[in-house]
């Protein structure tokens, strides 16, 4: 299998702007070509668009307005982990030899239809994500004797990190009291426990070993990929206090990369809601079962940006099909020591965790310098 790495990336600030999806996709695509002058549109073999938008034929449209005539062009949608699914598809095209250079462009509007999975009728009238998050939170708190105040620390930490991310939707810091006193959505969820949908654009170019060496002065390699889909329906999760798909995808990615969790210096994980962060840390093996909050508390108290340095989804915003690409860009920047005042010291190996629909599907990537 051919080696695959990152050639370049482009990202624009996450906002609440009302823009056409085609313009959104072009925003970060043109950033890539501006930032990587050695890459030309004619070098692109495939264009993959990651979005939950209902517009059709977006990849050929983006290709046309960006002056690209790719061999392969199509959209990839898998709700909130569309972004990493697109990266995995690009990896496959390159590793198989079908393409040498692939542009992946993620674009989403603040009013994306991907927020609600209409199909999941087992949820009855409780289809909004705040209801699965409330069940996760209730179950996790009960199982491990965790309080609302302790969980609120996830939001406090990630908003603090986002303050150092110029592309984040949030530019404010909050206290535990602020989180607890924010609007109560259910008994187990406050407004500041939630990531917010937004308008965003992020693009990345992957290439074969030869192309990466040709175009990138500071190559980042994709060493491991793990994916698992356990179901589509939320109520089919075996546990509501751990994430099976995340555990399986994480193990597969680490095995492929020949790494252990202890080798990971920095990670972007899918904190769609506060409770997700400790659940993911435990499911990926960063901490023991029920001890995720202890790890988060220590990271926060020592101002360690190891987990969600860009502010996670809670701080950065969550433009669904863009999130996995933005997470991957952050890890690439961290490994290139180019993450400004959110830089994690001596970061050599990084991990991306991106999931969909209450962890019914997870993707994990392991990146290395």
* Residue 105 or 134 with smaller CB distance to another protein: 134
* Residue 232 or 252 with smaller CB distance to another protein: 232
Taking CB under 8 A as the binding criterion, the range among 3-11, 95-103, 128-136, 308-316 that sits at the site for another protein is 128-136
- Quick one: DSSP state of residue 119? T
Let me know: does 219 contact 213? Beta carbons within 8 Å: yes
By the rule CB under 8 A, 183 interacts with another protein: no
Number of CB atoms found within 10 A of residue 345's CB: 10
Task: Tell the smallest beta-carbon distance from residue 51 to another protein (Å).
Answer: 24
Consecutive H or E run containing 104: strand 101-108
Cα separation, 358 vs 369, whole angstroms: 31
By the rule CB under 8 A, 93 interacts with another protein: no
For another protein, which residue of 124, 262, 341, 346 counts as binding (CB under 8 A)?
A: 124
* Residue 124 or 262 with smaller CB distance to another protein: 124
Taking CB under 8 A as the binding criterion, the range among 81-89, 134-142, 218-226, 275-283 that sits at the site for another protein is 134-142
By the rule CB under 8 A, 285 interacts with another protein: no
By the rule CB under 8 A, 127 interacts with another protein: yes
By the rule CB under 8 A, 69 interacts with another protein: no
Task: Tell the smallest beta-carbon distance from residue 236 to another protein (Å).
Answer: 7
Task: Tell the smallest beta-carbon distance from residue 122 to another protein (Å).
Answer: 5
Task: Tell the smallest beta-carbon distance from residue 141 to another protein (Å).
Answer: 10
Cα separation, 230 vs 285, whole angstroms: 19
By the rule CB under 8 A, 188 interacts with another protein: yes
Cα separation, 273 vs 192, whole angstroms: 9
By the rule CB under 8 A, 273 interacts with another protein: no
By the rule CB under 8 A, 123 interacts with another protein: yes
Cα separation, 358 vs 351, whole angstroms: 20
By the rule CB under 8 A, 134 interacts with another protein: yes
Taking CB under 8 A as the binding criterion, the range among 69-77, 79-87, 133-141, 360-368 that sits at the site for another protein is 133-141
* Residue 189 or 279 with smaller CB distance to another protein: 189
Angle (deg, nearest 10), helices 244-257 and 276-283: 50
By the rule CB under 8 A, 230 interacts with another protein: no
CA distances from 161 to 166, 199, 250, 303, 306 (A): 11, 20, 24, 9, 10
- Contacts of residue 165, defined as CB under 8 A and 6 or more positions apart, other chains included, come to 310, 311, 315, 316, 342
**Residue 72 CB burial class (10 angstroms; 0-12, 13-18, ≥19):** middle
By the rule CB under 8 A, 148 interacts with another protein: no
Residue 227's SS3 state is strand
By the rule CB under 8 A, 137 interacts with another protein: yes
- Contacts of residue 302, defined as CB under 8 A and 6 or more positions apart, other chains included, come to none
Task: Tell the smallest beta-carbon distance from residue 102 to another protein (Å).
Answer: 34
For another protein, which residue of 9, 110, 131, 273 counts as binding (CB under 8 A)?
A: 131
Q: Which residue has the tokens 């009728």?
A: 121
Tell me how far apart the terminal alpha carbons of the chain are, to the nearest angstrom: 19
Taking CB under 8 A as the binding criterion, the range among 48-56, 121-129, 151-159, 297-305 that sits at the site for another protein is 121-129
By the rule CB under 8 A, 135 interacts with another protein: yes
Q: Which residue has the tokens 């009855």?
A: 124
Interacting residues with another protein (CB under 8 A):
118, 121-127, 131, 134-135, 137-139, 142, 185-189, 233, 235-236, 240
């Amino acid at each position: 299998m051919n080696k695959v790495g990152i050639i370049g990336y482009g990202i624009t600030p996450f906002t609440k702007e009302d823009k056409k999806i085609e313009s959104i996709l072009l925003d970060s695509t043109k950033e890539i070509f501006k930032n990587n002058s050695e890459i030309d549109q004619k070098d692109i073999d495939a264009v993959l668009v990651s979005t939950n938008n209902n517009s059709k034929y977006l990849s050929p449209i983006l290709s046309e307005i960006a002056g690209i005539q790719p061999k392969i062009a199509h959209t990839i949608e898998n709700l909130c982990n569309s972004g990493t699914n697109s990266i995995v598809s690009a990896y496959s095209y390159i590793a198989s030899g079908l393409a040498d250079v692939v542009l992946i462009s993620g674009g989403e509007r603040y009013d994306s239809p991907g927020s609600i999975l209409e199909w999941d009728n087992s949820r009855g009238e409780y289809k909004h994500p705040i209801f699965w998050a409330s069940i996760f939170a209730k179950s996790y708190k009960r199982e491990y004797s965790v309080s609302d105040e302790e969980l609120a620390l996830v939001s406090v930490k990630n908003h603090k990190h986002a303050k150092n991310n110029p592309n984040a939707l949030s530019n404010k810091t909050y206290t535990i009291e602020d989180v607890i006193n924010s609007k109560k959505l259910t008994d187990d969820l406050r407004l500041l426990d939630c990531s917010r949908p937004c308008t965003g654009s992020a693009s990345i170019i992957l290439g074969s070993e030869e192309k990466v060496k040709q175009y990138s002065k500071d190559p980042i390699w994709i060493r491991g990929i793990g994916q698992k889909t356990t179901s589509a329906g939320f109520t089919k999760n075996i546990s509501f206090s751990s994430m099976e798909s995340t555990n399986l995808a994480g193990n597969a990615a680490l095995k492929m990369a020949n790494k252990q969790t202890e080798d990971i210096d920095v990670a972007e994980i899918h904190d769609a809601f506060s409770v997700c962060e400790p659940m993911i840390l435990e499911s990926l093996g960063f901490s023991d079962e029920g001890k995720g909050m202890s790890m988060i508390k220590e990271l926060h108290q020592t101002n360690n940006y190891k987990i969600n340095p860009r502010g996670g989804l809670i701080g950065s915003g969550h433009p669904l099909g863009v999130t996995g690409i933005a997470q991957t860009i952050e890890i690439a920047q961290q490994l290139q020591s180019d993450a400004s005042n959110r830089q994690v010291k001596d970061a050599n190996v990084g991990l991306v965790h991106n999931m969909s629909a209450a962890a019914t599907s997870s993707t994990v990537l392991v990146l290395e310098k």
